[in-house]
Amino acid sequence: MKSQQKDDQQDDKLLFGLVLFDTKEKKSKIEKAIQSILKIDYPADKLKIIICSYLSEDKKLDHYVNYANILLSKFRHTRLLLNHKLEKDDEVDYNAFMLCKYADYFVKMNHDEEISSNIFKNISKANFSKDSIIKQGETIALPKNLVSKNYLDFNDYDRMSKHLLKEADKNNSIKNIT
């Protein structure tokens, strides 16, 4: 008879890359997003978190270092990527997601979003095909092989994501989890 702990360990085999993008604008709601990330129930060594922020006179470096340290207290694979507001969006996207290049799934999160605490466990347990786009609420997890096949055509994560969602909707290959 298998133990529950052994089953749980087998379910948590996928590696996820989560990129949290802050806004270039003054009003950021990143604290709320950070709080929701802290509630994630998934092994810390299977989640790579990138906080992607912009430097400006309005945004204090100390705040972002503090956010990264807060996340590092739970998730050891947390990185802070600081960008200048004049950098091109496609370069910022590329740099952020390259830090997660070994992930099985990629998730993009904006500063004003929250993520479900069980999304990564649910995806791991479901054992979807490697071409499945997974959606829980507003959060979309894109598999590595679809991202690597399509990113260069778009050079923009959001445009690529919209295209892949449209194609998956036509093919009925979006997997919704609750």
Tokens of 77: 């694979």
**Statement: residue 178 has pLDDT above 90:** no
- Give the chain's domain count: 1
- Which residues form the domain of 59? 4-172
64 belongs to a structural domain: yes
pTM: 0.86
In this structure, is the dihedral angle defined by the CA atoms of residues 101, 105, 110 and 112, taken in order, positive or negative? negative
26 belongs to a structural domain: yes
Predicted local distance difference test score (pLDDT) of residue 7: 43
Predicted local distance difference test score (pLDDT) of residue 32: 92
pLDDT tens column, 75-85: 999 999 988 77
Predicted local distance difference test score (pLDDT) of residue 113: 94
β 105-110/174-176 pair status:
unpaired
Q: What is the DSSP letter of 117?
A: T
Predicted local distance difference test score (pLDDT) of residue 12: 66
Q: Is 138 exposed, middle or buried (0-12, 13-18, 19+ CB in 10 A)?
A: exposed
Sheet containing 174-176: which strands, arranged edge to edge? 78-84, 47-55, 16-21, 105-110, 139-143, 133-136, 174-176
177 belongs to a structural domain: no
CATH number at residue 159: 3.90.550
Tokens of 91: 């370069």
71 belongs to a structural domain: yes
- Minimum mean pLDDT among 5-9, 46-50, 66-70, 159-163: which range? 5-9
28 belongs to a structural domain: yes
35 belongs to a structural domain: yes
Mean pLDDT over residues 100-117, rounded?
93
Average pLDDT, the chain: 85
Question: Rounded CA gap, 142 and 53, in Å?
Answer: 22
Mean pLDDT over residues 5-16, rounded?
63
Mean pLDDT over residues 38-46, rounded?
94
Predicted local distance difference test score (pLDDT) of residue 1: 40
95 belongs to a structural domain: yes
178 belongs to a structural domain: no
